Structure 1
Amino acid sequence: MIFEKNVPIRLSDGTVLRANVFRPDDGVPAPVLMTHGPYGKDAHFEDAFKPQWDELKRLYPGIDTEGSSGRYLRWEVADPERWIPWGYAIVVVDSRGAGESPGKLWAWSPQETDDYAECIEWAGTQEWSNGKVGLLGISYYAMNQWQVAARRPAHLAAICPWEGASDLYRDASHHGGIFGNFFFEYWFPKQILSVQNGNSGSPYIDRETGGTSTGTALDEDTLRGNRVDVIEEFRSHPLIDGWYDARTAKLADIEVPVLSAGNWGGMGLHLRGNVQGFMGAGSRQKWLQMHGGTHWESFYLPEYVQLQKRFFDRFLKGESNGWDAQPPVMLEVRHPDRFEQRSEHEWPIARTQWTRMYLDAGRRALAPEPLGAIAFATYRAPGRGVEFLSAPMEAQTEFTGPVALVLWVRSSTEDMDLFVTLRAYDPEGREVLFRGATDPQVPIAQGWLRASHRKTDPQRSRPGQPFHTHTEVEPLTPGEDYRLEIEVWPTSIVLPRGYRLALRIDAQDFEREGAAGPRKGSGPFLHTDPQDRRPDVFRGENTILAGGRYDSHLLLPLIPPAGHRRG
């Protein structure tokens, strides 16, 4: 393997970005797998994210002993030692203002996307390149794939966004219109500012040089002047406007082959966008893969790396390896104790039987038929709300697909935030829990909606997925009744006979009863910003109305057992 460190990539405006290039030493032009972003190309996975590294080592002890020394493993980036023997080149670029690349750091900006497109063209024209560039990476390195692929750079041949949002507003910054804490509490200070170009105080050491990998040291005033505070940008744009439009991919413009991989337990960032990206991409050749487990394990486990390899072998090397016969939807269907692989030919699944469970506010139950009598359930906001429990399943029952909740509400104030959680319980009343992307024990599904953002676009809404415009605020009149449609992120669960489904509605982020530690069921994706959730607006009484003229119900994607196909 040839390893070239800090290779210069000169952009059209004269800025020079720095890249690490790993390539075969046989002299044969190779297809390129690229990542470009602000996380720092020289900070080892173990150094920058030790708790996650320790968990990955527990799940996959051979990650740095079987076929790789692990020396070049970086957070959310492919391992060069595994890909170079297969005839690929790996290019990891510090984006403008990050790591060794000077300039103004401006995450998710149109400038960053322009830079990425230029880097793709650079890689496609090097003498060691075969002219085909693929994109492969997790989270940020997945999100910006959607953005740059829509620009259609000439040498881009395929993308594989692994667990990454495709809609910056709905998937990431504002869930249902509610501003999230994750980016300003965790992401911006830890993952971005720590590796800003010129930050001599970076805690991460380059194992090759023994020093920091953030270029020439700059003073604090210069550092502040060399970055745009994207958190303040989020705050300044509480609705979808031109700022968001410029930063959200035009999915229909994507034309290269796509392998989109999402996580059932990725509520808050790493689920909805992969499904929506797959559905919205204009590509004729596109595939969706849905799995469970932690946010990082699947990307590195051998069976998933082989899936990535088969995809790129087909579209970057032109190999006839049978990939074209691969059904477009690859699911790991979730059971309480396991996952079962199954292939489908579309999403949502064509044989879905859309099934309603009606809220019984009096008995706190989910009923198969609407109730004639009107009942109410009232709770304080912010705070815990109410839970509705189904009868035991009479037979094994599968729900796989998007989910929606129709809810009639009344508030004592001008607005209300709704936090919706789907849970499951075994016959003994124990909750069914799963290892999520970023939380050790997640529920089946989650959804959110700010009532003043209730407006939907009928042309873009689908069964199980109301599409909210988020372009205007419609305050509530205290004491009046409103019908809301709430999007719950996609899910997959097979409930054995005797198990129950539960719907929880809260006025705060879901927290599991008795949970300890920083992760209590919603991971780091919380919504407690006092600027966004002002007490004078969101402190009061929320009321749920059901029965009679109030058709409050949960819409579920029931998959009939007779139609199961095994992949």
Structure 2
Amino acid sequence: MSKVIETEAGLMLVEWDVPIEMDDGMVLRGDVFRPMSDEPCPVLLSYGPYGKGLPFQEGYETAWERLVSQHPEVADGSSNRFQSWEVADPERWVPHGYACVRVDSRGAGRSPGQIDHFSPREIRDLYMCIEWAGTTLWSNGKVGLSGISYYAAVQWQVAALRPPHLAAICPWEGFNDMYREATHHGGILSTFTRGWARMQVQTVQYGNGRGLMSAINGLSVTGDEVLDAKSLRGNRIDFGAAHLEHAFDDEYYAERRPDLARIEVPVLSAGNWGGAGLHLRGNIEGFLDSGSSQKWLEIHGLEHWTEYYTDYGRALQQEFFDHFLKGEDNGWDQRPPVMLKVRQVDGSFDQRTAEAWPLPGTAWTDLFLNAASGALVEDAGAAGSVSYDELGDGVTFYLPESDEAVEVIGPLSLKLFVSSTTDDADLFAVLRIIGPDGEEITFPGALDPHSPPAQGWLRASHRELDPERSLPYRPYHPHQRRQPLEPGEVYEVDIEIWPTCIVLPPGYRMALTIQGHDYEYGGAPAQLSNLAVELRGSGPLLHDDPIDRPVYDKGNPAPAAKITVHTGGDTPSRLLVPFLRG
């Protein structure tokens, strides 16, 4: 079914529900938006499970309202009829000579089959969609991948398979190491994926018969077939249960982890400073480890969907794709490889570029934890210790105020000497900012409006390091086995704290909190319509599963641990900080 649609920028040809046959005979469905011209054009393609016919405004109402109220340019110049969650608005791209292709992934929206997120079958499907799009009569043979989060994560995977017609990728805030960046932070299970699948995928699963109809074409968002509850369950892998079952970094994650070194196409990797737990590490690691000789890293702030749609984000994407999909000599290849929006304490950002990551000129500084004074100092000092209850407030160490501005940009790592009254300890490290009035300063995060500037996690029984992959500022844990603690014995552990960026004016100071649970903001919680939990500082990225962490099982509570942090002397616990001087 096709239709010519008039937009503010001119005519656009739309083809709904185009069949795309896979190598096993399954037929997926895609929508194609393209110029009214016989001249072949480049393709921007997205492939994912959110229902290509579900309007952004309907499926993600509060996110849309926040986006357009705070960034009105997003709504200007487009009818917004074709806006969908985390993918490009064709009214913005077709007038510039692009075809936009949106494909419902297998089992979702109007594509039948079984949902198995990020599986080899799903990535093979995406490979075939790329090759289909690159060989149509209206395509110039160059396909670029665009989209946020899920639509970004699959880009890393499929690019490593090297589809012949894939010409460039722009993974916007998407992980590539599912275990470390989405399901198990430091070996601790995140319950996010369970709620995400229920709220955002099952609601648009093929055949669920919810009655969602596209106002544009009159088609059911979830296909014309209505399946019963048993059939629906059989047509999806239980994502949350799979992650609970696979507690270590085993073959399940290995087959979903791309070989980044195989990526050859140009890469624009865009991360989010506020994306601890989902939307940052993968973009940085992907930039560093991808095999492409043409790659750029951009990091911004605000909600994880915002800058993709703003004038800033669209201009950046268009310049990148114009260069690699259209062959325009627009100066993109002269850009520095690292582009940052540097975060200020008032919530604003300054633009900065660099030639490498971590930034050249970084003054790596060890700040030692002092149990007696509660300070972060540059001298390890005498031996001491401080204890806290696992579900209590933890312990906090403060960096003294500075008379000069202080910049912290880059990854951090925390070496702790700890003991526990039980055979394990879940360690949560939170970097915090304290204002001159003693009040904590939080920042808009990717998913929570009140986030700390950085977080890190480690289950002490997962403390084993991979010496070949570990770096001083980024310890790497293989997560292959459990090494229980002997109660009362002191163990050395290294915690990866995800990268951060903050400029502290005089009078502001940094603090480090070590505790046994997720960070919580002290003010009122927030809510998004597409999330099942209140947002209390860590968004939906929580670590409170009663099986993975029995202390949360109210029916059979496990004894909470008392954890002791040992400092100074022979146990010099310390935080490695990336200061920038001058």
- Deviation string 1:370-425 (CA, Å, 9 cap, x unpaired) is 11x21111111133211111110131111101000011100010111011100111
- Corresponding residue number in structure 2 for 1:196: 205
- Corresponding residue number in structure 1 for 2:470: 461
Is the counterpart of residue 510 in structure 1 residue 519 in structure 2? yes
Residue identity opposite 2:441 in structure 1: V
- Deviation string 1:49-100 (CA, Å, 9 cap, x unpaired) is 0010100111222423x22110000000000001001000000000111111
- Deviation string 1:492-538 (CA, Å, 9 cap, x unpaired) is 11111221110001101111234445222111111100010023767
Which of 267, 272, 275 aligns to 2:281? It is 272
Distance 1:100 1:512 in 2: 40
- Deviation string 1:335-384 (CA, Å, 9 cap, x unpaired) is 1122110100000112111101110112211112111x211111111332
SS across alignment from 1:107: coil
Distance 1:369 1:351 in 2: 23
Is the counterpart of residue 172 in structure 1 residue 186 in structure 2? no
- Within 5 Å, give how 1:78-97 maps onto structure 2: 78-97=88-107
Contact persistence 1:415–1:538 (CA under 8 A): no
- Within 5 Å, give how 1:335-414 maps onto structure 2: 335-337=344-346, 338-371=348-381, 373-414=382-423
Distance 2:558 2:576 in 1: 29
- Corresponding residue number in structure 2 for 1:153: 163
- Corresponding residue number in structure 1 for 2:270: 261
Distance 1:45 1:396 in 2: 41
- Corresponding residue number in structure 1 for 2:32: 21
Residue identity opposite 1:196 in structure 2: Q
SS across alignment from 1:130: strand
Alpha-carbon distance, 1:221 to partner: 1.5
Residue identity opposite 1:122 in structure 2: W
- Corresponding residue number in structure 2 for 1:234: 243
Which of 331, 344, 350 aligns to 1:322? It is 331
- Deviation string 1:10-63 (CA, Å, 9 cap, x unpaired) is 111111000000001111101000000111100000100001010011122242
Percent identity over the alignment? 52
- Corresponding residue number in structure 2 for 1:307: 316
The 1:397/1:538 distance shift into structure 2, 3 A limit, reads farther
SS across alignment from 2:417: strand
Distance 1:43 1:305 in 2: 22
Alpha-carbon distance, 1:428 to partner: 1.7
Contact persistence 2:73–2:310 (CA under 8 A): no
Alpha-carbon distance, 1:430 to partner: 2.2
- Corresponding residue number in structure 2 for 1:53: 64
SS across alignment from 1:151: coil
Residue identity opposite 2:221 in structure 1: S
Alpha-carbon distance, 1:136 to partner: 0.4
Distance 2:500 2:166 in 1: 32
Residue identity opposite 1:80 in structure 2: P
- Corresponding residue number in structure 1 for 2:3: none
Residue identity opposite 2:60 in structure 1: F
The 1:138/1:56 distance shift into structure 2, 3 A limit, reads same
- Corresponding residue number in structure 2 for 1:564: none
Which of 229, 235, 238 aligns to 1:220? It is 229
SS across alignment from 1:239: coil
- Corresponding residue number in structure 2 for 1:529: 545
Distance 1:119 1:211 in 2: 22
- Root-mean-square deviation (CA, aligned residues, Å) is 1.2
Distance 1:481 1:425 in 2: 31
Contact persistence 2:33–2:101 (CA under 8 A): yes
Distance 2:483 2:111 in 1: 44
SS across alignment from 2:248: coil
SS across alignment from 1:299: helix
- Deviation string 1:450-472 (CA, Å, 9 cap, x unpaired) is 00111111111113110111111
SS across alignment from 1:205: coil
Contact persistence 1:422–1:443 (CA under 8 A): yes
SS across alignment from 2:321: helix
- Corresponding residue number in structure 1 for 2:152: 142
Distance 1:326 1:61 in 2: 28
Residue identity opposite 2:573 in structure 1: S
Which of 440, 457, 463 aligns to 2:449? It is 440
The 1:153/1:179 distance shift into structure 2, 3 A limit, reads same
Residue identity opposite 1:274 in structure 2: N
- Within 5 Å, give how 1:550-561 maps onto structure 2: 550-561=571-582
SS across alignment from 2:441: coil
Contact persistence 2:442–2:450 (CA under 8 A): yes
Distance 1:61 1:251 in 2: 37
SS across alignment from 1:449: strand
- Within 5 Å, give how 1:62-81 maps onto structure 2: 62-64=73-75, 66-81=76-91
- Corresponding residue number in structure 2 for 1:103: 113
Is the counterpart of residue 549 in structure 1 residue 570 in structure 2? yes
Distance 1:34 1:210 in 2: 23
Residue identity opposite 1:497 in structure 2: P
Contact persistence 2:191–2:240 (CA under 8 A): no
Distance 1:190 1:207 in 2: 22
Distance 1:442 1:225 in 2: 38
Contact persistence 1:415–1:537 (CA under 8 A): no
Q: Which runs of 5+ in 1 are unaligned?
A: 562-567
Distance 1:39 1:191 in 2: 7
Contact persistence 1:416–1:451 (CA under 8 A): yes
Distance 1:302 1:148 in 2: 28
- Corresponding residue number in structure 2 for 1:3: 14
Contact persistence 2:81–2:216 (CA under 8 A): no
SS across alignment from 2:440: coil
Alpha-carbon distance, 1:209 to partner: 4.1
Contact persistence 2:49–2:104 (CA under 8 A): yes
Residue identity opposite 2:117 in structure 1: A
- Deviation string 1:112-134 (CA, Å, 9 cap, x unpaired) is 00000000000000000000000
Which of 300, 309, 326 aligns to 1:291? It is 300
SS across alignment from 1:224: helix
Distance 1:146 1:546 in 2: 41
Count of residue pairs the alignment pairs up: 557
